[in-house]
């Protein structure tokens, strides 16, 4: 599974969000590397938990920023965040119980979700925030 490499193509033009996205990439890559190195659940589960916790923190931060700026697409954006959170909350207990023999599907799903969400959905709010003085 290719790891996520940050580049300018992922920038949404808002420094705080770009920094948080970079952190998400690092956490994803840490989890991905542990899985690819064959680490056991005792080592991979804390990495997955941290990735999920940080993702929730990021979503709250991002939604707060969008709310304060009056971003018109906030409701849809927040729904996408809720959908991912729901899926991940269902996945984590199954991962903990060892019900999932491979995390390859999860890694692929998360990778594609992050790429699509940042490049398609998040890029929509960058110009809106920039026009309101948020850089």
Of residues 103 and 102, more confidently modeled: 103
The total of other beta-carbon atoms located within 10 Å of residue 22's CB is 14
Query: How distant is the alpha carbon of residue 45 from its chain centre?
Result: 17
CATH architecture of 14-129: Up-down Bundle (1.20)
Q: pLDDT for 55-70, tens place per residue?
A: 999 999 999 999 999 9
Is residue 102 pLDDT above 70, yes or no?
A: no
So where are the chain's domains?
14-129
Q: Give the pair of three-digit tokens for residue 94.
A: 């199954």
For the chain, percent of residues with pLDDT exceeding 90: 71
Comparing CA positions, the residue from 23, 21, 27 lying closest to residue 46 is 27
């Amino acid at each position: 599974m290719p790891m996520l490499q940050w580049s300018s193509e992922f920038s949404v033009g808002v420094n705080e969000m770009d920094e948080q996205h970079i952190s998400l990439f690092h956490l994803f890559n840490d989890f991905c590397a542990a899985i690819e190195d064959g680490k056991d659940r005792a080592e991979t589960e804390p990495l997955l938990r941290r990735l999920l916790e940080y993702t929730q923190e990021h979503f709250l931060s991002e939604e707060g920023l969008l709310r304060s700026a009056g971003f018109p697409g906030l409701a849809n954006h927040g729904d996408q965040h809720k959908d991912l959170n729901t899926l991940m909350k269902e996945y984590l207990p199954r991962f903990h119980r060892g019900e999932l023999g491979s995390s390859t599907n999860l890694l692929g799903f998360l990778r594609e979700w992050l790429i699509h969400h940042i490049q398609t959905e998040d890029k929509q709010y960058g110009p809106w925030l920039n026009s309101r003085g948020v850089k």
